[in-house]
Amino acid sequence: MPIQIDGNTLLAYAERAMQAIEMVPEERRDSLVWQGTFRLADGTTKEEKAQTPAELAADIVAALPIMASMAKGESDFDAAVHDALHAEQTRVAQLPMREIAALGRRYAAEAAQVIDALGAIPADATLKTPRGEMPRQVAAVLLFTHVVHHRGQLYQMLRTLGLRPPGFL
C-alpha cells in the first residue's frame, strides 16, 4: 500500500503552522530563544546555535513547494533543488512574519492541490538525493515530517516567550 499524505491533512498542519508564525512578535523574529550543545547519534557533541523564529518559519514555508514538486514527480532533490530551497529560505526569512504566513498559506494551497498525486506515483518510483536514491513517496513523507518537526520547534519557542501556540491539528 502506498504511503500517502492527503491534501486536507497537509492544509490542516500548514494552517496551524501559519497561525504559530503569525504569533511570533515581530521584535522577536530574529531572537535566539535557545542555543547549546547537541548530542549526535555517534555520541559526540556539537555546539550550535538554534534557528531563529524567522528562520524556522522560512524553513517550513520554503519546503512546501518542494513537496508539491516531488508529488508531481517533476524533480529530484539534486544540488540545484537544494540550492533553490536554501535561496528561498533566505529570501523568505527576510519578510515580516505575517507575510511569511501569507506566503505559507499560498504555498500550502498549491501543494494540497497536487499532494494527492502521491498515491498515483508507482511505489517503486525513486527520487535522487545527495545521499542516494529513495522511494519518492517516502521522500515526500520525510519532508512532511521535517516540516512538522520545525513546527514543533516553533511551538516550543512560542511557549518560551510565554505564548500559547495553536492546537496541534
Determine, yes or no, domain membership for 104.
Answer: yes
Determine, yes or no, domain membership for 112.
Answer: yes
pLDDT of residue 1: 45
Residue 110 maps to which CATH number? 1.20.120.450
- Name the helix (H) or strand (E) containing 60: helix 53-72
User: What is the radius of gyration, based on Cα positions, of the chain?
Assistant: 16
Determine, yes or no, domain membership for 169.
Answer: no
Number of domains the chain contains: 1
Rounded Cα gap, residues 115 and 72, in angstroms: 8
Question: What range does the domain containing 34 cover?
Answer: 7-160
Determine, yes or no, domain membership for 168.
Answer: no
Query: Got the DSSP string for 2-71?
Result: -----HHHHHHHHHHHHHHHHHS-GGGTT----EEEEE-TTS-EEEEEPPPHHHHHHHHHHHHHHHHHHH
The answer to whether 113 and 124 are in contact (CB under 8 A) is no
Residue type, 31: S
Share of the chain above pLDDT 90, in %: 20
Determine, yes or no, domain membership for 165.
Answer: no
Determine, yes or no, domain membership for 1.
Answer: no
Higher per-residue confidence, 45 vs 94: 94
Cell reading at 131: 545521499
- pLDDT (tens digit per residue) in 114-136: 776 666 667 778 877 777 888 87
Cell reading at 128: 535522487
- pLDDT (tens digit per residue) in 14-73: 888 899 999 999 998 998 765 667 677 788 887 776 788 899 899 888 888 877 777 666
Determine, yes or no, domain membership for 2.
Answer: no
